[in-house]
Amino acid sequence: MAIDGRLLTVIKSINELGICTVVDIHRVTGISRPAVHRIVNSLCSFGYTERVDGKSAIRLTSEILSLSAGYKPENRMAEKAAPVLSRLQNRIRWPFTFATPRDDMMIVQETTRDSNPFVFDSGRTGMHLPMLSTAMGCAYLAFCAEEDREAILEDARRRGARDEFMVAARHRIAQAAERGFALRTGGEPERTSTIAVPVVIYSTAVASLCTTFPTSAVPLDEACSKYLPELHDAAKSIAASLEN
């Protein structure tokens, strides 16, 4: 076992055991006592553990919490979405994308583009997509909390969005709410279409899921008939895993 692997194993063991000794960790992990001693000394020197009971035992300190400071709710969503997107990719050849909202943008948290030969744009994990002009954004806004939607629309108006743009955005959102999904044809990337559905938890959208395909390859009606049931099932699967 590599030293970094042993380090993580020891941290996990201390977390499970609570106050424990080197012997306790050795018995649980099978790692040699000398190795456990070295790892514990390193953890103590960095402040992640401390010695107690006359220094014969150790326990984790609050400093260990800093290791999870960068973990955010959207990370968990991406973890739950990844296997669902992978299963979708096995059934439908076009790329799939899962995104969550942040301010007035949709942030790509997971995508199958890296493993898909049919890629039409430069989309990638971490990419920011404008909420008001994308299918993913419209799918989210159509089913998110009303106060969140109105706050985003009002912010766009205050920042100088033209009246005609705001009218068109509200129309697209209303269409998505009526249909249960959002559509994009043309625009970016050119000669493609996107179908997006919301991921809804407890009656409120928290993310959206989409697939993009060449407009010339699949007529829109056929695409909706083929892909929407798959997308809705995938969104429900992600939502269920998060609710649980």
Chain segment 165-197, per-residue pLDDT in tens? 999 999 999 999 999 999 998 776 678 899 999
Is the pLDDT at 2 greater than 50? The verdict is: no
* pLDDT, tens digit, 9 for 90 and up, residues 68-81: 777 677 788 888 99
Q: Is 116 left (phi over 0), alpha (psi -120 to 50) or beta?
A: beta
Is the pLDDT at 120 greater than 90? The verdict is: no
150-189 exposure pattern, b = at least 16 Cβ within 10 A, e = fewer: eebbeebeeeeeeeeeeeebeebbeebbeeebbbbeeeee
Distance, in Å, from the CA atom of 200 to the CA atom of 141, rounded to the nearest integer, reads: 11
Q: pTM, whole model, 2 decimals?
A: 0.76
Listed in sequence order, the residues at least 6 apart from 19 whose beta carbon sits closer than 8 Å to its beta carbon are 52, 53, 57, 58, 59
Average pLDDT score over residue span 90-104: 92
In the Cβ-directed half-sphere of 37, how many Cα atoms lie within 13 Å? Answer: 5
Instruction: Give the per-residue pLDDT at 188.
Output: 65
Pairing of strands 96-102, 105-111: antiparallel
> 58 and 65 in contact (C-beta within 8 Å)?
no
Is the pLDDT at 121 greater than 70? The verdict is: no
Domains and CATH numbers, the chain: 3-68 (1.10.10.10), 73-243 (3.30.450.40)
Q: Give me 134's structure tokens.
A: 């994308």
Is the pLDDT at 54 greater than 60? The verdict is: yes
Find tokens 């010695």 and name the residue. 51
Instruction: Give the per-residue pLDDT at 3.
Output: 52
